[in-house]
Amino acid sequence: MTALHTLWMGLVLLGVLGVLQTRAQAPVSLQPNFQQDKFLGRWFTSGLASNSSWFREKKNVLSMCMSVVAPTADGGLNLTSTFLRKEQCETRTLLLLPAGAPGCYSYTSPHWGSTHDVWVVATNYDEYALLYTAGTKGLGQDFHMATLYSRTQTPRAEIKEKFTTFAKTQGFTEDAIVFLPQTDKCMEGHK
């Protein structure tokens, strides 16, 4: 019985170490020489890809939302997003904390209470940004999402193609990738 307990504890320890090692290694590359000050300001969520069941169920009713990225005193970012939900505008703010190299952040999911990591994979700062998010939700279900942020509500075709290619290299299938339709709702004063 002691040997079985020792084996079980060893497997648990290896599992924990494996999780720690996996969490420390980014699954994607970061934007070289990321400049947080250039990343600040208004962005539109133009494209999404996710393995989430919620996303698969709701992707056809989602629309573009507007986000504002602002610095925090501790070197992190406030990501404040305004979006349409049940015919009403909602605003939510996520606190993105620095998590290693510039362009790498983490936040605590307000719904699940779990930590999610966010990487700014590519950006030219004045037109687009590609982000990748990974974490767990619920009962340890892996959560992955790719996001295309655009400075305008109409990203160029080349930017959309860049996002599609990026999402596919992360393992998302064509049916898991969506470009969000423009809306005037919840965008008043922000065009």
- Which residue in 65, 89, 104, 186 is the catalytic one? 65
Rg (CA), the chain: 18
Q: List C-alpha distances in Å: 60 to 66, 111, 179.
A: 18, 22, 10
Q: Is the pLDDT at 22 greater than 70, yes or no?
A: no
Domain boundaries along the sequence of the chain? 36-179
What is the pTM for the complete model shown? 0.81
What is 36-179's CATH superfamily?
Calycin beta-barrel core domain (2.40.128.20)
Which phi and psi angles does 127 have, rounded to 5°?
Answer: -135, -45
CA neighbours within 13 Å on the CB side: how many for 48? 20
The 10s digit of each residue's pLDDT in 100-145 is 899 999 999 887 788 899 999 999 999 999 999 998 876 667 889 9
Query: What's the CA gap between 56 and 41, in Å, rounded?
Result: 29
Question: Tokens 């892996």 identify what position?
Answer: 142
Share of the chain above pLDDT 90, in %: 53
Token pair for 97:
């904390």
Contact, 64 vs 42, CB < 8 A? no
For residue 119, what are its two tokens? 């990487």
pLDDT at 188: 60
Query: What are 50-74's pLDDT values in tens digits?
Result: 987 767 777 677 878 899 999 999 9
- The amino acid occupying position 173 is T
Cα 157 off chain centre by: 21
65 is a catalytic site residue: yes
